[in-house]
Amino acid sequence: MKHLIVPSSAKLNLFLAITGRRTDGFHDLVSVVTPVEFGDTLTVELRDANFSMECDDPRLEIDESNLVLKAARAFAAAASWTGGAHFSLVKRIPMGAGLGGGSSNATAALRALNRLAGEPLDLAGLAGIAGQLGADCSLFLQGGPVIMRGRGEDVQPLPSVAAERLRGRRVLIFKPPFGINTAWAYRQMAAAAPASYLPAEEAEARLGAWLSDVTAPGEALLFNNMEAPAFTKFIALPVALECLRTEFALVPRMSGSGSACFAFLPADAPVDAITNRIRELWGQEAFVTETRLV
Protein backbone atom coordinates (compact mmCIF):
# COMPACT_ATOMS: atom_id res chain seq x y z
CA MET A 1 0.00 0.00 0.00
CA LYS A 2 1.54 3.28 -1.16
CA HIS A 3 -1.13 5.82 -0.26
CA LEU A 4 -3.98 6.26 2.18
CA ILE A 5 -6.94 8.65 2.50
CA VAL A 6 -8.03 9.25 6.10
CA PRO A 7 -10.63 11.45 7.82
CA SER A 8 -9.53 14.10 10.28
CA SER A 9 -12.39 14.91 12.64
CA ALA A 10 -13.18 18.16 14.39
CA LYS A 11 -13.80 18.05 18.15
CA LEU A 12 -16.13 19.73 20.61
CA ASN A 13 -15.49 20.50 24.26
CA LEU A 14 -18.82 19.63 25.83
CA PHE A 15 -17.50 20.30 29.32
CA LEU A 16 -14.46 22.52 29.85
CA ALA A 17 -13.33 23.68 33.27
CA ILE A 18 -10.03 25.54 33.50
CA THR A 19 -9.11 24.90 37.11
CA GLY A 20 -5.96 26.94 37.62
CA ARG A 21 -2.54 27.98 36.40
CA ARG A 22 0.45 25.73 36.93
CA THR A 23 3.91 26.77 38.03
CA ASP A 24 5.18 26.07 34.49
CA GLY A 25 2.79 28.72 33.11
CA PHE A 26 0.36 26.25 31.56
CA HIS A 27 -3.18 25.64 32.81
CA ASP A 28 -4.84 22.60 34.33
CA LEU A 29 -8.25 21.54 33.08
CA VAL A 30 -11.01 18.98 33.35
CA SER A 31 -12.83 18.46 30.07
CA VAL A 32 -15.15 16.09 28.24
CA VAL A 33 -14.25 16.18 24.58
CA THR A 34 -15.75 14.32 21.66
CA PRO A 35 -14.88 14.04 17.98
CA VAL A 36 -17.63 14.66 15.44
CA GLU A 37 -18.29 13.24 11.99
CA PHE A 38 -17.46 16.53 10.28
CA GLY A 39 -13.83 17.25 9.49
CA ASP A 40 -10.95 17.46 7.04
CA THR A 41 -9.58 14.81 4.70
CA LEU A 42 -5.88 13.90 4.59
CA THR A 43 -4.27 11.96 1.73
CA VAL A 44 -0.85 10.45 2.45
CA GLU A 45 1.41 9.19 -0.35
CA LEU A 46 4.64 7.39 0.46
CA ARG A 47 7.89 8.80 -0.92
CA ASP A 48 11.44 7.49 -0.74
CA ALA A 49 12.53 10.30 1.57
CA ASN A 50 11.54 13.67 3.04
CA PHE A 51 8.13 15.06 3.95
CA SER A 52 6.11 17.63 2.03
CA MET A 53 2.61 19.03 2.19
CA GLU A 54 -0.06 20.87 0.23
CA CYS A 55 -3.47 22.22 1.23
CA ASP A 56 -6.47 23.51 -0.68
CA ASP A 57 -6.73 26.45 1.76
CA PRO A 58 -3.96 28.96 1.00
CA ARG A 59 -4.31 30.52 4.45
CA LEU A 60 -2.86 27.46 6.14
CA GLU A 61 0.86 27.58 6.81
CA ILE A 62 2.44 24.44 5.32
CA ASP A 63 6.02 25.12 6.33
CA GLU A 64 7.96 23.26 9.02
CA SER A 65 5.76 24.81 11.72
CA ASN A 66 2.75 22.78 10.55
CA LEU A 67 1.75 20.05 13.01
CA VAL A 68 1.35 17.47 10.23
CA LEU A 69 5.01 17.77 9.26
CA LYS A 70 6.05 17.86 12.92
CA ALA A 71 4.07 14.67 13.48
CA ALA A 72 5.70 12.99 10.48
CA ARG A 73 9.21 13.80 11.69
CA ALA A 74 8.40 12.66 15.21
CA PHE A 75 6.95 9.40 13.90
CA ALA A 76 10.02 8.71 11.76
CA ALA A 77 12.32 9.26 14.73
CA ALA A 78 10.25 7.14 17.13
CA ALA A 79 9.79 4.28 14.68
CA SER A 80 13.31 4.45 13.19
CA TRP A 81 11.59 4.76 9.83
CA THR A 82 13.63 6.11 6.92
CA GLY A 83 10.85 6.68 4.39
CA GLY A 84 9.10 9.89 3.41
CA ALA A 85 5.60 11.03 2.48
CA HIS A 86 3.61 13.77 0.80
CA PHE A 87 0.49 15.02 2.56
CA SER A 88 -2.48 16.58 0.77
CA LEU A 89 -5.03 18.21 3.06
CA VAL A 90 -8.60 19.17 2.14
CA LYS A 91 -9.42 21.76 4.79
CA ARG A 92 -13.00 22.08 6.04
CA ILE A 93 -12.50 22.72 9.76
CA PRO A 94 -12.26 26.50 10.18
CA MET A 95 -9.09 27.85 11.75
CA GLY A 96 -9.04 29.83 14.97
CA ALA A 97 -12.22 28.08 16.02
CA GLY A 98 -11.38 25.90 19.01
CA LEU A 99 -12.36 22.80 17.00
CA GLY A 100 -8.95 21.12 17.12
CA GLY A 101 -8.30 21.08 13.39
CA GLY A 102 -4.50 21.25 13.54
CA SER A 103 -4.28 18.64 16.29
CA SER A 104 -6.66 16.35 14.42
CA ASN A 105 -4.61 16.70 11.23
CA ALA A 106 -1.43 15.77 13.09
CA THR A 107 -3.01 12.70 14.68
CA ALA A 108 -4.45 11.61 11.34
CA ALA A 109 -0.95 11.86 9.85
CA LEU A 110 0.46 9.74 12.68
CA ARG A 111 -2.10 7.00 12.25
CA ALA A 112 -1.77 6.97 8.47
CA LEU A 113 2.03 6.82 8.52
CA ASN A 114 1.98 4.06 11.10
CA ARG A 115 -0.34 1.99 8.93
CA LEU A 116 1.62 2.63 5.73
CA ALA A 117 4.88 1.75 7.49
CA GLY A 118 3.51 -1.62 8.68
CA GLU A 119 2.39 -0.48 12.16
CA PRO A 120 5.76 -0.35 13.93
CA LEU A 121 4.18 1.56 16.85
CA ASP A 122 1.36 0.45 19.11
CA LEU A 123 -1.30 2.80 20.50
CA ALA A 124 0.87 3.70 23.47
CA GLY A 125 3.73 4.64 21.15
CA LEU A 126 1.48 6.84 19.05
CA ALA A 127 0.02 8.42 22.18
CA GLY A 128 3.52 9.29 23.38
CA ILE A 129 4.21 11.20 20.17
CA ALA A 130 0.76 12.83 20.16
CA GLY A 131 1.23 14.08 23.72
CA GLN A 132 4.46 15.82 22.74
CA LEU A 133 2.83 17.52 19.74
CA GLY A 134 0.01 19.21 21.62
CA ALA A 135 -2.58 18.77 24.34
CA ASP A 136 -5.46 18.01 21.95
CA CYS A 137 -3.61 15.49 19.77
CA SER A 138 -3.96 12.49 22.09
CA LEU A 139 -7.75 12.67 22.28
CA PHE A 140 -8.08 11.95 18.55
CA LEU A 141 -6.45 8.54 19.00
CA GLN A 142 -9.39 7.31 21.08
CA GLY A 143 -12.13 7.38 18.43
CA GLY A 144 -14.82 8.55 20.82
CA PRO A 145 -15.56 10.88 23.75
CA VAL A 146 -12.86 11.24 26.38
CA ILE A 147 -12.15 12.92 29.70
CA MET A 148 -9.03 15.08 29.67
CA ARG A 149 -7.19 16.25 32.77
CA GLY A 150 -3.95 18.00 33.65
CA ARG A 151 -2.64 20.00 30.71
CA GLY A 152 -4.64 17.63 28.53
CA GLU A 153 -2.06 14.87 28.59
CA ASP A 154 -4.17 12.64 30.87
CA VAL A 155 -6.76 11.22 28.45
CA GLN A 156 -9.23 8.51 29.45
CA PRO A 157 -12.19 7.18 27.45
CA LEU A 158 -15.54 8.36 28.76
CA PRO A 159 -17.28 5.43 30.51
CA SER A 160 -19.24 3.47 27.91
CA VAL A 161 -22.66 4.06 29.50
CA ALA A 162 -22.08 7.81 29.45
CA ALA A 163 -20.62 7.71 25.94
CA GLU A 164 -23.79 6.08 24.64
CA ARG A 165 -25.81 9.05 25.91
CA LEU A 166 -23.78 11.27 23.57
CA ARG A 167 -22.95 9.13 20.57
CA GLY A 168 -24.91 10.00 17.45
CA ARG A 169 -26.44 13.20 18.83
CA ARG A 170 -27.18 15.77 16.13
CA VAL A 171 -25.31 19.00 16.64
CA LEU A 172 -25.04 22.32 14.84
CA ILE A 173 -21.57 23.90 14.80
CA PHE A 174 -21.33 27.58 13.92
CA LYS A 175 -18.54 30.14 13.91
CA PRO A 176 -18.42 33.90 13.27
CA PRO A 177 -16.03 35.27 10.62
CA PHE A 178 -13.44 36.03 13.31
CA GLY A 179 -11.30 33.66 15.38
CA ILE A 180 -9.99 33.86 18.94
CA ASN A 181 -6.32 33.42 19.81
CA THR A 182 -6.01 30.64 22.38
CA ALA A 183 -2.99 32.19 24.10
CA TRP A 184 -4.89 35.48 24.46
CA ALA A 185 -7.84 33.69 26.06
CA TYR A 186 -5.64 31.99 28.63
CA ARG A 187 -3.86 35.26 29.42
CA GLN A 188 -7.24 36.87 30.08
CA MET A 189 -8.17 34.06 32.45
CA ALA A 190 -4.84 34.39 34.29
CA ALA A 191 -5.33 38.15 34.62
CA ALA A 192 -8.76 37.63 36.21
CA ALA A 193 -7.61 34.83 38.53
CA PRO A 194 -8.72 33.32 40.82
CA ALA A 195 -12.32 34.24 40.00
CA SER A 196 -11.93 33.04 36.39
CA TYR A 197 -11.07 29.47 37.40
CA LEU A 198 -13.35 26.67 38.60
CA PRO A 199 -11.68 24.78 41.46
CA ALA A 200 -10.72 21.24 40.47
CA GLU A 201 -12.83 19.63 43.18
CA GLU A 202 -15.91 21.53 41.97
CA ALA A 203 -15.20 20.60 38.34
CA GLU A 204 -14.89 16.93 39.29
CA ALA A 205 -18.07 17.12 41.34
CA ARG A 206 -20.03 18.57 38.40
CA LEU A 207 -18.69 15.96 36.04
CA GLY A 208 -19.26 13.17 38.54
CA ALA A 209 -22.88 14.21 39.06
CA TRP A 210 -23.57 13.99 35.32
CA LEU A 211 -21.79 10.64 34.99
CA SER A 212 -23.73 9.11 37.88
CA ASP A 213 -27.14 10.29 36.68
CA VAL A 214 -27.92 7.96 33.78
CA THR A 215 -31.06 9.97 32.97
CA ALA A 216 -29.21 13.28 32.55
CA PRO A 217 -29.17 14.43 28.91
CA GLY A 218 -26.08 15.72 27.13
CA GLU A 219 -27.32 19.27 27.58
CA ALA A 220 -26.91 18.91 31.36
CA LEU A 221 -23.19 18.31 30.90
CA LEU A 222 -22.45 21.52 28.99
CA PHE A 223 -20.10 24.00 30.65
CA ASN A 224 -17.22 26.24 29.58
CA ASN A 225 -15.56 28.83 31.81
CA MET A 226 -13.48 30.08 28.88
CA GLU A 227 -16.63 31.80 27.63
CA ALA A 228 -16.23 34.68 30.08
CA PRO A 229 -13.10 36.32 28.59
CA ALA A 230 -14.30 35.69 25.03
CA PHE A 231 -17.76 37.13 25.68
CA THR A 232 -16.32 40.24 27.31
CA LYS A 233 -14.37 41.21 24.18
CA PHE A 234 -16.43 39.61 21.41
CA ILE A 235 -19.97 40.70 22.25
CA ALA A 236 -21.34 39.12 19.06
CA LEU A 237 -20.92 35.70 20.68
CA PRO A 238 -23.20 36.08 23.72
CA VAL A 239 -25.74 38.09 21.71
CA ALA A 240 -26.13 35.28 19.19
CA LEU A 241 -26.24 32.52 21.78
CA GLU A 242 -28.94 34.33 23.74
CA CYS A 243 -31.01 34.73 20.57
CA LEU A 244 -30.79 30.98 19.91
CA ARG A 245 -31.87 30.26 23.48
CA THR A 246 -34.89 32.53 23.42
CA GLU A 247 -36.01 32.03 19.82
CA PHE A 248 -35.33 28.31 19.32
CA ALA A 249 -35.06 26.90 22.87
CA LEU A 250 -31.53 25.64 22.18
CA VAL A 251 -28.71 25.29 24.73
CA PRO A 252 -25.75 26.73 22.79
CA ARG A 253 -22.21 26.91 24.15
CA MET A 254 -18.77 27.93 22.93
CA SER A 255 -16.28 25.12 22.21
CA GLY A 256 -12.81 25.36 23.73
CA SER A 257 -11.34 28.85 23.55
CA GLY A 258 -13.67 29.71 20.64
CA SER A 259 -14.77 31.26 18.50
CA ALA A 260 -16.81 28.26 17.30
CA CYS A 261 -20.03 27.48 19.14
CA PHE A 262 -22.43 24.55 19.02
CA ALA A 263 -25.87 23.39 20.06
CA PHE A 264 -27.54 19.99 20.25
CA LEU A 265 -30.41 19.72 17.79
CA PRO A 266 -33.80 18.28 18.78
CA ALA A 267 -35.44 16.00 16.21
CA ASP A 268 -37.80 18.78 15.10
CA ALA A 269 -35.21 21.58 15.06
CA PRO A 270 -35.78 24.05 12.18
CA VAL A 271 -32.16 23.90 10.99
CA ASP A 272 -32.65 26.22 8.01
CA ALA A 273 -34.30 28.88 10.17
CA ILE A 274 -31.56 28.59 12.81
CA THR A 275 -28.86 28.85 10.14
CA ASN A 276 -30.51 31.92 8.63
CA ARG A 277 -30.75 33.56 12.04
CA ILE A 278 -27.07 32.94 12.75
CA ARG A 279 -26.14 34.54 9.44
CA GLU A 280 -28.43 37.48 10.12
CA LEU A 281 -26.51 38.04 13.34
CA TRP A 282 -22.98 37.25 12.17
CA GLY A 283 -23.12 37.88 8.43
CA GLN A 284 -23.23 35.57 5.43
CA GLU A 285 -19.60 34.57 5.96
CA ALA A 286 -20.50 32.79 9.20
CA PHE A 287 -19.61 29.09 9.13
CA VAL A 288 -22.49 26.71 9.90
CA THR A 289 -22.59 22.91 9.58
CA GLU A 290 -24.76 20.12 10.94
CA THR A 291 -23.04 16.94 12.07
CA ARG A 292 -23.20 14.19 14.70
CA LEU A 293 -21.11 13.25 17.71
CA VAL A 294 -18.91 10.19 17.23
Which of 122, 136, 175, 233 does the annotation list as catalytic?
Answer: 136
- Decide if 233 is catalytic: no
SS (H, E, C) the chain: CCEEEEEEEEEEEEEEEEEEECCCCCEEEEEEEEEEEEEEEEEEEEECCCEEEEECCCCCCCCCCCHHHHHHHHHHHHHCCCCEEEEEEECCCCCCCCCCHHHHHHHHHHHHHHHHCCCCCCHHHHHHHHHHHCCCCHHHHCCCCEEEEECCCEEEECCHHHHHHHCCCEEEEEECCCCCCHHHHHHHHHHCCCCCCCCHHHHHHHHHHHHHCCCCCHHHHCEECCHHHHHHHCCHHHHHHHHHHHHHCCCCEECCCCCCEEEECCCCCCHHHHHHHHHHHHCCCCEEEEEEEC
| Residue of 11, 70, 91, 175 with catalytic role | 11
- Residue 11 annotated to the active site: yes
Active site residues: 11, 136
